[in-house]
Amino acid sequence: MPNRKLIGKGAEGELFLTEHDKQKCVEKIRVSKAYRHPELDKRLRKRRTVREAKVIRAARAAMINCPTLLVENVEKSTLIIEYIEGELLARVLVKENPISAKSIDLCGQAGIILGKLHQNKITHGDFTTSNLMVDTKNKVRVIDFGLSEQTDGVEQKAVDVMLFERSLSDVDDNSILFKEFLKQYLSVDKKADEIIARTKLILSRGRYRSKGQ
Amino acid sequence: MKKIRLLAFECTAHTFGASVIEKSGTGKPNNINTKILSNDYDRYPALKEGFIPRKLADHHSKVFKKVTNLALNNAKIRMEEIDLLAYSYGPGIGHCLHVGYVGAKSLALKTNKPLIPVNHTVAHCEVGRYLFGFKDPLIIYVSGGNTQIAAITKEKNGNFYRVYGETLDVGIGNFFDVLGRKLDGIQPPNAIGVIKQASTYKENNLLDLPYTVKGMDLAFSGLLTACIKEVEKKGDKAQVCFSAQEIALSMLIEACERALCHTQKKEILLVGGVAQNPRLQEMVNLMAKEHRCKVGIVPPLLAGDNAAMIGITAMQIYCSNSIEPSDLPNDNVRLDSTQIRW
């Protein structure tokens, strides 16, 4: 067993830095949750691992900027994935404040990624700036397909757009970043108007949403 | 230092409540210098027909005087000794809000006292912060109509509650309620009936039902439809209730755990009527332990709709000079639309 180092602890799982075939990689383990019914716990962890593996393979096949899947172990709900050197988009955007040409470009790249994903009938499910990595060549790559689905559903796609907009809200003055994101997103997926319309509908569905929000 | 006494009214949904709050000494209101002297209410009973707004409003106007006198008597305070009045201006059922407004406003005009409008959802959160003295908690606000995960954040124009995640369709209490209505032999309140039914399930077999978490948001309608289908198939009622409860609450805790990892908060507050659910309390404690967080669970009398929480929040508003310009009711004001100046 190579050396393992805990590099991240999310809500759902733990990330370890490890080695596979002498290549630096990330081991993602979906940990058991004490609060969940054991049957539900097993079900969710297993299904999400299988689904995530399937989606990563599909995304790679569609030439989308995301890390490669190296090993899939459903019984241990573990995936071993290529390691990406870089920084989270969320952190980069906080550093690039006020908004710079760089941050606009990065959000545009995120738009292209999401457009391609949706074109290939993949929805991410948690498409926020914390799930986008900026690598050492300033290329944006999408990570964590934990909540992804393979679907052409307008609703799921609209949720992706909405989640991205919301994750920008701390850093995006006058939604400059979001506008660039949308421009690039629409340039890939020409039929996305329906999705944008649905985003508005979902937002209006929030309980007791005040007018204009 | 003179004592400040405040009479608060709660009148947004099924509960009409009145409460007297007393603050002594200087400084911001906290659980040492500010006391809840009384917290009385009269609740419209849960009937098979559900809540009909007109009937709720009639009930509230009928009990207004009785409950107000009860609150004053229990606090051993005369009306003349009251310095301030407060009421919840929303969100809620329009009919009820107007009864609360007219009552509180008339009293304010008659006695020539300031009237402080309070956002009902903010009050639910604030009473928790008051009780446990938490400075910066992640708040799980669960009631019949509301299911939100929120925390106070600093924005350009001041501090506001920010809603990190919420239900995209029905509130969690409402979810249990509608399910209860579809089951034979459950007495209202239906949500409590479902929870009781769930506790009678002696085995441990969980049904495979939809589980919907979208980022930090939740949706219960798919789960609800699946549960109703199980009931129609004449499945074991107790098992359906047990599974519905396990899955709905797990969804909520998962969304909350995501928000916790995102915000890195170290305190969790469980507020609102559904905070009384014992299984939910158990789950929150287990999850918090993993993240080494403190947990505050608001006790039943202050968790469900009540006037004391309105009073506590009104005292904060008064002591920070942030009384809103308009005291008119607003039935769809949100948790994140009120500035927190204290």
Tell me whether B204 touches chain A (CB under 8 Å).
yes
**DSSP label of A66:** -
What is the phi/psi pair of residue A117, to 5°? -60, -50
pLDDT value of residue B47: 84
Write the pLDDT tens digit of every residue in B130-143.
Answer: 999 999 999 999 99
Tell me whether A209 touches chain B (CB under 8 Å).
yes
pLDDT value of residue A205: 66
**Distance of alpha carbon B17 from the chain centroid:** 13
Please tell me the distance from the alpha carbon of residue B329 to that of residue B309, in angstroms, as a whole number: 18
pLDDT value of residue B272: 95
Q: B253 to chain A, minimum CA–CA distance in Å?
A: 8
pLDDT value of residue A175: 84
Could A207 and B145 be called an inter-chain contact, meaning their C-beta atoms sit closer than 8 Å?
yes
pLDDT along chain A (213 residues), means of 10: 78 89 92 95 93 94 94 94 92 88 94 95 91 94 90 90 87 86 89 83 60 37
What is the phi/psi pair of residue B217, to 5°? -100, 160
Tell me whether B291 touches chain A (CB under 8 Å).
no
- Residue B12 scores a pLDDT above 70: yes
pLDDT value of residue A22: 87
Tell me whether B145 touches chain A (CB under 8 Å).
yes
Write the pLDDT tens digit of every residue in B224-273.
Answer: 999 999 999 988 999 999 999 999 999 999 999 999 988 899 999 999 99
Chain A to chain B, count of Cβ pairs less than 8 Å apart?
Answer: 79
Tell me whether A25 touches chain B (CB under 8 Å).
no
Tell me whether A9 touches chain B (CB under 8 Å).
yes
Could A210 and B253 be called an inter-chain contact, meaning their C-beta atoms sit closer than 8 Å?
no
What is the phi/psi pair of residue B153, to 5°? -130, 155
User: Residues of chain B with pLDDT > 70: what percent?
Assistant: 100
Where does the pLDDT of residue B145 fall: very low under 50, low under 70, confident under 90, or very high at 90 and above? Answer: confident
Pick the residue from chain B with its C-alpha nearest to A31: B290
Single out the residue of B92, B248, B124 nearest to residue B180, CA to CA: B248
A189 counts as catalytic: no
Q: Which of A126, A144, A160, A172 is catalytic?
A: A126
Could A210 and B205 be called an inter-chain contact, meaning their C-beta atoms sit closer than 8 Å?
no
Query: Which residues of chain B have a CB within 8 Å of the CB of A40?
Result: 206, 211, 246-247, 250
- The stretch B95-111 carries a mean pLDDT of 96
Tell me whether B40 touches chain A (CB under 8 Å).
no
Tokens of A189: 């997926």
Could A11 and B261 be called an inter-chain contact, meaning their C-beta atoms sit closer than 8 Å?
yes
Could A159 and B215 be called an inter-chain contact, meaning their C-beta atoms sit closer than 8 Å?
yes
- The stretch B171-182 carries a mean pLDDT of 93
Q: B160 to chain A, minimum CA–CA distance in Å?
A: 13
Continuous segment of H or E residues that includes residue A122: strand A122-123
- B119 by Cβ neighbours in 10 Å (0-12 / 13-18 / 19+) ranks as buried
Please tell me the distance from the alpha carbon of residue B123 to that of residue B311, in angstroms, as a whole number: 8
Please tell me the distance from the alpha carbon of residue A111 to that of residue A29, in angstroms, as a whole number: 29
Through-space distance between the first and last CA atoms of chain B, rounded to whole angstroms: 21
Average pLDDT, chain B: 93
Where does the pLDDT of residue B150 fall: very low under 50, low under 70, confident under 90, or very high at 90 and above? Answer: very high
Query: Which residues of chain B have a CB within 8 Å of the CB of A200?
Result: none
pLDDT value of residue B189: 86
Regarding an ipTM greater than 0.95, the answer is: no
Please tell me the distance from the alpha carbon of residue A101 to that of residue A123, in angstroms, as a whole number: 28
DSSP output for B22-58: EE-SSSS--TTTEEEEEEEEEEPPP-TT---HHHHHH
- Residue B44 scores a pLDDT above 80: yes
Query: Which residues of chain B have a CB within 8 Å of the CB of A202?
Result: 168
Q: Are B251 and B212 in contact (CB under 8 A)?
A: yes
Single out the residue of B23, B29, B140, B128 nearest to residue B83, CA to CA: B23
- Residue B106 scores a pLDDT above 70: yes
Q: In the block, which residue shows the tokens 């919420």?
A: B166
Q: B215 to chain A, minimum CA–CA distance in Å?
A: 5
